[in-house]
Amino acid sequence: MLKIDGLTYTYHAKSTPCPYHFSLKANKGETVGILGESGSGKSTMLDLIAGFLEPHSGDILLDSEALLALPIEKRPVTILFQQHNLFEHLSVKKNILLGISPHGKSTPETDEKISEILEEMGLAEHLDKLPSALSGGQQQRVALARALLRKKPILLLDEPFSGLDRKTRLEMLSLVQTITQREGLHTIMVTHETEDCELIADRVYKMKNGTLLPTNPESLQEKA
């Protein structure tokens, strides 16, 4: 289980009390949905979990292991952003390699894994292309393929599908759900689409003014 316990943060060192205060739980194989208005603190929370920001207090525990003690490169975390997930000057293959092999070194084993996932995601013919030769949806699909191959136990999604057409978005959500369950990941999905949560979230929280409030997923429909 992933447990975020009373994580606090403020962008301004002198402000008290800390404006951001987060707690949540995700079981293995679960997707947690986070809904909230722009500026409510969703990205800040993901940045704290990933290690881009350092909290003032609180804990992040994965199966009782404290993650805050780990430097950013050792955290068992993959994060996907709304854009700029890929290196523009590197091929699809190299972009994925950098995520899964030290120094991006290619071996028969990595090549086979990459071929398999690109096949599964309908991207097989794009292996040697640069990201600029792909559509926005295809680029996010490559980033998702890399995230899924990394198999880090915590997958953070910071609205990565929000710029995509609905059909592509729903396909991506379905992939996230399948892989989260199959690989036993703990996925935290920030989204502004209530529908995303209805479709794949096992738990839903609403972010309001830097605090998370658990929300009954069944009630989303009525409030939407």
- Candidate list 7, 9, 33, 36; residue touching ligand ADP; CB under 6 A: 36
CA-based angle 62:141:70, to the nearest 5? 25
Which range in 40-48, 114-122, 160-168, 179-187 contacts ligand ADP by CB under 6 A?
40-48
Query: Which residue, chain included where needed, has tokens 């993650």?
Result: 67
- Candidate list 2, 7, 40, 114; residue touching ligand ADP; CB under 6 A: 40
11 binds, among Mg ion, ligand ADP, none (CB under 5 to 8 A by kind): ligand ADP
Collapsed DSSP state (helix, strand, coil) of residue 216: coil
Which range in 35-43, 72-80, 144-152, 196-204 contacts Mg ion by CB under 5 A?
35-43
- Candidate list 6, 39, 136, 163; residue touching ligand ADP; CB under 6 A: 39
Whether the CB-CB separation of 197 and 33 falls below 8 Å is answered with yes
Rounded Cα gap, residues 80 and 6, in angstroms: 24
CB of 138: closest distance to ligand ADP in angstroms?
25
Q: What six digits make up the tokens of 124? A: 């097989």
Which range in 40-48, 58-66, 109-117, 173-181 contacts Mg ion by CB under 5 A?
40-48
Cβ closest to ligand ADP, residue 36 vs residue 160? 36
- Candidate list 40, 43, 85, 139; residue touching Mg ion; CB under 5 A: 43
Which range in 33-41, 80-88, 131-139, 212-220 contacts ligand ADP by CB under 6 A?
33-41
Whether the CB-CB separation of 33 and 206 falls below 8 Å is answered with no
| Upper half-sphere CA count for residue 6 (Cβ side, 13 Å) | 2
156 alpha-carbon distance from chain centroid: 2
CA-based angle 60:148:203, to the nearest 5? 50
Q: Using CB under 6 A as the criterion, which residues of the chain lie in contact with ligand ADP when the complex forms? A: 11, 36, 38-44
